[in-house]
Amino acid sequence: MNAYVYPGQGAQTESMAKELVAAFPPAASFYRDAKEITGLDLLSLSTEDLAQTRFSQLAIVVHSIASLDRILSESSPETAENTASAGFSLGEYTALYAAGVVTYPDVLILVNERARLMQFAAEKYPGAMYAVIGLSDQEVQEITSGIPDVYPVNYNCPGQVVIAGLAKAAEKAAATLSEKGARRVIKLAVNGAFHTPLMADCSERLSEFAAGITFRPALLPLYSNATAGKLSSEIDFPAYLALHMVSPVRFTEEIRAMRADGYTDFREVGPGNVLAGLIRKI
């Protein structure tokens, strides 16, 4: 069985929107609608703009949705009907759209608010994130448990975990993990401690905002970073999105759960191919 997976923040490049529109002209309509609804011209963002959470999240989601439209235009209806949806962090919002849970205008409104809140949190609590390569999940958990304000947040694949926290605490943790045997510790190009309790205030505000959005039952199997399994048809989406913002991305477990459910063919939809590499390692 097939599954489409959608990338998260960090997948963006300055040229991605223009390259997509040049290769698939109907994509331009998604960018026009995004500008009308959010006021942002996502076709004209600079590298500096895309380094900011405020802009990068919308840019990635719109690119991913337009890329999905391109794939669906070339696929049979049966293929689309039997394809599961999953995303990495921000990519889960694209997955909600792909599964029919939210409309395109509503996902734009929702991601626009999420990005605004997360940008605010990053400015209030300046943070950092580091990819730790070469230690097990348990080793990273044990080492960081003794360092306040630092958390394992992205379980990318076996031997690769991302930590996040307040900037100085995360820097200390990164140095300690390197001393304890990590092959590489790489600082990520973000300024917030995403998927940590430092996002709690914003997660509550997002839930309140999302209460005004119409969520529909998923038309396709929809998998979760927060639970590492298939989402229930009875889920309270505003509450879930708040949980998602402060919970680790359990990507390794999620992909294994999808494999156990029979999904063997994964296709990354959107900018970049990082998830495809992680899935191969999983």
Residues that are catalytic: 89, 195
Buried b (16+ CB within 10 A) or exposed e, 215-253: beebebbbbbbbbbebbeeebebbebbbebbbbbbbbbb
Closest by Cα among 10, 21, 24 to 57 = 10
Give CA–CA dist 282/55, Å, rounded: 30
Q: Which residues pair with 185 in a beta bridge?
A: 132
The tokens describing 23, both together, are 């290769």
**Phi and psi at residue 179, in whole multiples of 5°?**
-65, -30
3-state secondary structure of 274: helix
**DSSP secondary structure code for residue 232 in this structure:** P
Give CA–CA dist 60/273, Å, rounded: 13
